[in-house]
Structure 1
Amino acid sequence: MKKVLKFGLLLVLVIVVGVVVYNYPRLNIITGFSAKSVCSCTFEANRSLASIEKGDNGFSPINLATNKINFEEKSVTSTVFGLKARKAIYKKGVGCVLLSEDFKNEISFKPNRHIIEKKLPYPFGVLPQKDTVFTNVNYKAVNKAVENAFDKIGDSVKKTRAVLVIYKNKIIAEKYAEGFDENSKFLGWSMTKSITSAVVGVLAKQGRVDIHQTNLFPEWENDQRSKITLNNLLQMNSGLAWVEDYNTISDVTKMLYLDKDMSKIPLEKPLVSKPDSSWNYSSGTTNLISKYIRNQFKTHQEYLDFWYKELIDKIGMNSMVLETDAKGNYIGSSYGWATARDWSKFGLLYLHKGNWNGTQILNKDWIEYTVQPTPTSNGEYGAQFWLNSGGVYPNVPKDLFSCNGYQGQYVFIIPSKNLIVVRFGLAENPIFNTNQFLSSISQSIGLEQ
C-alpha cells in the first residue's frame, strides 16, 4: 500500500514538474493575463473571484494561475506554482494596468470625463425608452432567437452572457445570463479596435488627419516603412510583420503582457510585403494607430481627454472605460469596457451614419469609407470593422458590418434592417452559431407596412 502511495505521489510530482517545465517560457504571459483579467473583472466589472476563475480565466493554461486580490491597494498578484509573479493595479479612469517588474507604481495619469446625463429616453439619454410596438416585428421569433443564444440550465456550451436587440432606436429584446444585468460592464476585447478607428474619424472630420498621409512616425523616416499610409494601418494591410497568435509566445502576447509601451513592438517591426498588397490581422497595428493619435496632441492629457470628450461622452457611453498600458497609452486593440446598452450606442452611431440625435460626430463619408472592403481581405474587413460583403454569414444581409472581439463579443450593425444586435459571451463560431443567431433575428423583422 505504501509503495502504491509513493508511486502515486511520485507520478503527481512528475506531472506537476512536467506542466511547469512545459509552460515555464510562457509563465510571464500566463500570470500577466491572469492578473490583468482578474483585476479588471474585479474592480471594473464588480465580479467575484470565483466567477472570474470559472469563466474568464477558466481555460488552459490560464487556469494554472493562482490569484490573490488586495482590496485595500486595489491590485491583483498572480503566480503559477509560486513562480513568475505578475501584478496589475486598478486606477480609476484608466482601469487596471499590468505592471512590469521594474515599474514603481507611479500611475498619475487619467482622462477628464465630460459626462452629461441628458433627460431624454434611451438611447439618447438616461430616461427609460418609450414603449413602442412595431407591427412588422415578429416579437415571438425575436425572443426565441435570443433565448436560443443562451445555454439551457446545466449546460455550458454557448456561454452567452448578454444579448441586446435594437430596432429603430428601441430595445425589442434583452436578456442576460445569471450574474449579469443591464448595469454589468463587458470587455469588448477587439471591439475596441472599432473605437480607435472612430477616434481617427473624428480627427479626420476636424481636418487634423488625412488617411492617405505617409511618414507616420519619425522612426520610419529613413526606410520603406515611410510609405505606409494611415489607411494601410486602418485596413491592416501595411505589410508589417506580425504574428497574432494567443496560444504561443507571439508578437501579440508579448505586446499585451510583457511591454510597458504597447506601441514599441509593432513600431519596430520590418516590412515583409508591399503596403496595400496583403491583409494581416494585427492588434499591433491598432496600437500603432493609438500612438499616431497621441502624436497629434501637444500634451498627453489632451490625448487622454480627446477620446472621451469628442466621441465616447458625446454619445452617452457613460459606463465606458478605455484601459491603458503602463505608459498611459490607450490599448486601442483590446481593452474597452462598457455595458451592453452603451456598446449598442456605438453601433447606433454608425447605423445613423455618424449622426447622434442631430449632432454629426463622424462624417457620412467616414462611415462609407469604414465599410469599404480592404484589398485581399475577401470582403471580410474594412477600417477596423468586420464586414459581411463577402458572405461570411450567408443567411444575413450583405450590408452587415460589425465590431468583433475575442471569444465572441459583437456589435452587429445591419442598415437594411435598421437593426443593432449586441452579444457578449465566452464562445464563438462554430460553437456559437453566429449565422443562425443573426439570421433568426434578421428574418423576424418584416417589411414596414
Structure 2
Amino acid sequence: MKKALKIIGIILVVVIILIAFNYSKLNIMSGYSAKNMSSSVFVAGRAPAFTDSTDNGFAPINFARDYVNLEDKYATASVYGFMTRKAVFRKGLGSVLIDDDYDTTKETSIPFRSNIARMTPYPYGNMKQKDTTFTNVDYKKIENAVNYAFAKVNGEDVKKARAVLVLYKDQIIAEQYAKGFNKDSKILGWSMTKSLISTMYGVLQYQGKLNVQDKAPIEAWKNDERNNITIHNLLQMNSGLEWEENYETISDVTKMLFLAKDMTAAQADKPLAGKINETWNYSSGTSNLLSGILRKQFDTHQEYLNFPYVEFIDKIGMHSMLIEADMEENYVGSSYGWATPRDWAKFGLLYLHRGDWNGTRIFDDSWVDYITKPTPTSKGRYGGHFWLNAGGFHPDVPKDMYSANGYQGQRIYIIPSKDLVVVRFGLVGKKGTDFNKFLSEICNAIE
C-alpha cells in the first residue's frame, strides 16, 4: 500500500512539474480552442461538434475540451481541467478571448452597417449572375484544376479544401465547396485580414486624410531611433522592429493573440532588431499596430469602428464580412476577418479593378501600384500587406499575380494579366496543396 501511494505521489509531482513547465502553453492551447469555438459557433453559425472535429481537431489543440453556452453566447476550454479560458461573443465585434478582469456586463460599441439590396447580378448586386460562356476559356481545364484542389490522396483528404472560386471578367466560371460548406458559409481569412487593414489605409489616403509616408504616430518612439519609422515601413513589414512570428511555440504572436488585452501595443513595445527599411520581417504585431494607428485618425471610437464598413466593406457589398476586435475594441487586423467566399472574392475584384467598384472609386488607382511594389529585402515576395509573385515564387504563374494570404492556406489571388481572381479556403494538411500547379492550370485554361 505504501509503495502504491509513493508511486502515486511521484506521478502527481511529475504531473505538477509538467503543468508548471507548460503553464503558458496550456494557456494558449485553451485560449485558441475557446476563441476558435466561440467564433465558429456565434460568427460562422457552425455546430460545436463540427468545430471540435475540424478547426480544433489538430494537435495539441485537440487536447483541450470545450463547453459552449448557446444562450449567453460564450465558450470555455481547458486542457484536462487545467487553465480554463473563456471567449465571449459581442454583437458587431465578434468573439473575443477574455481575461479575469474583463467586465462582461459592460455595453460595447456596435459598428454601423448598411445592407442595401442591389437588384443587379453578382458581383455588383444580390441577384444571380448572368449566364456567360467565354470562347477563350477551356472549361475542362478549369474543372480539372478545381478538382485537383479537392482531390484525395490515397483516399485521405490531405488538402482539406473547403471552397474554391474562379472568377474571370467578373463572372464565376467555377465554384466548388466541401461537404458542410456553401456560398453562404462564413470563413475565417486569418492573415488575409492584413490586406483589409492595408486597404483601409488606401481609402484614407485617397480621401486625403493621411499620407503613408508620414512617420508612425507612436508616443513611445519619439525619443529614440524608432521615431524614423513611417507608416509605409509598417505596411511593408520593413520597420526593423523585433518580432517573432512562430505559431508552434510561445512567441510574440501567440502571446499577443491569446493573452493580450490590447493587441495594438504588442509591436509598439519592441526595440529595433535591424535597420529601418532594410529588414523585412513578417509580423502580425505590425498589422495590429497599424489598426491602433488607424484608430487615432478619428475623433471618436465609433467613427473608427464604422469606417471600414461605411467607406469600403459595405460599399462593395461584402455584407457578410465581420472583423473581430480585441478586449479594448481594436480591430484585430492581423487575423480575425470573416466573410463568405463570394464576398472575399469581391475584395479580389476590387483590386483587379484597381479600386473602382462599378463606377464608385474606393481607393486611388495608384494604390495598387503601391501595394504591389516589392518590399526591400523580401526578394519580391511581399509588398504593402500583400504577397507578391514578382520574385517568381510561383514559377509557372504570371509574375503580376499578387495575393491576400492566410494561415492554413486561405488565399485570394489577383492575376491582372489574365483578368482572374482565384479564391481558395480550407485547412491545409501535411501534404497540402501545390498552389503553383493549381494556379498554373487555371491560367493555362485562359487563352
Task: Select between 384-393 and 14-23 the one with higher mean Cα deviation.
Answer: 14-23
Q: Deviations over 1:293-318 (max 9, x none)?
A: 00000100000000100000000000
Aligned-CA RMSD value: 2.2
Matched-pair contact (CA < 8 Å) for 2:216–2:293: no
| Equivalence for 1:135 | 135
Question: Aligned equivalents of 1:47 and 1:18: distance in 2?
Answer: 37
**Mapped partners of 1:342, 1:353: distance in 2:** 17
Distance 1:165 1:193 in 2: 22
Partners of 1:255 and 1:101 in 2: CA distance = 16
Counterpart-to-counterpart distance in 2, 1:433 and 1:14: 47
Q: Is the 8 A contact 2:191 2:407 kept in 1?
A: yes
Aligned to 1:85: 84
Q: After TM superposition, which residue ranges in structure 1, 4 or more long, deviate above 6 angstroms? A: 8-19
Distance 2:325 2:158 in 1: 32
Distance in 1 separating the partners of 2:275 and 2:141: 48
Question: Secondary structure, in 3 states, of the residue corresponding to 2:191?
Answer: helix
Report the Cα distance in structure 2 between the residues aligned to 1:389 and 1:152, rounded to whole angstroms: 31
C-alpha contact (below 8 Å) 1:107/1:326 kept by paired residues: no
Q: 1:367 to 1:296 in 2, by over 3 A?
A: same
Offset of 1:19 from its aligned partner?
6.5
Partner residue, 1:66: 65
How many Å apart are 1:12 and its aligned residue?
Answer: 10
Q: Name the structure 1 match of 2:357.
A: 356
Give me the whole-angstrom Cα distance separating, in 1, the residues matched to 2:101 and 2:59.
28
Rounded Cα–Cα distance in structure 2 between residues aligned with 1:142 and 1:12: 58
2:34–2:85: 8 Å Cα contact kept in structure 1? yes
CA contact (8 A) 1:215 1:221 kept: no
- Which residue does the alignment assign to 1:263? 264
Partner SS state of residue 313, structure 1: helix
Give me the whole-angstrom Cα distance separating, in 1, the residues matched to 2:9 and 2:411.
Answer: 47
SS in 2 for 1:112: coil
SS of residue paired to 1:286: helix
Quick one: distance in 2 between partners of 1:218 and 1:15?
46
Alignment match, 1:110: 110
Aligned to 1:388: 389
Please give the alpha-carbon distance, in whole angstroms, between the structure 2 residues aligned to 1:58 and 1:305.
35
Q: TM-score scaled to structure 1, two decimals?
A: 0.95
Unaligned ranges ≥5, structure 2: none
Change in CA separation of 1:423 and 1:16 when aligned onto 2, cut-off 3 Å: farther
Q: Which moved more, 1:196-205 or 1:263-272?
A: 263-272
Does the 8 Å contact 2:158/2:430 carry over to 1?
no
**TM-score, length basis structure 2:** 0.95
Q: 1:216, CA displacement in angstroms?
A: 1.8
Secondary structure at 1:45 match in 2: coil
| Deviation at residue 10 of structure 1 after TM alignment | 11
Q: How much does 1:48 deviate?
A: 1.4
2:162 alignment partner, SS class: strand
The residue aligned with 1:3 is: none
Quote the Cα distance in structure 2 between the aligned partners of 1:294 and 1:310: 15
| Residue aligned with 1:50, SS | helix
Distance 1:55 1:11 in 2: 36
Q: After superposition, where does 1:365-380 map in structure 2 within 5 Å?
A: 365-380=366-381
Shift, 1:225, TM fit: 1.0
2:184 match: 183
Show the 5 A alignment for 1:159-178. 159-178=160-179
Give the conservation status (yes or no) of the 8 Å contact 2:159–2:431.
no
Maintained 8 Å contact 2:158/2:431: no
Note if contact 2:158-2:429 (Cα within 8 Å) is conserved in structure 1.
no
Letter aligned with residue 184 of structure 2: N
Structure 1 residue 237 corresponds to structure 2 residue 246: no
- The letter of the residue matching 1:441 is I
**Cα–Cα, structure 1 residues 15 and 441, in superposed 2: closer, same or farther, change >3 Å?**
farther
Partner residue, 1:413: 414
Partner secondary structure for residue 266 of structure 2: helix
Distance 2:422 2:10 in 1: 50
User: Taking every aligned residue pair, what percent have the same amino acid on both sides?
Assistant: 54
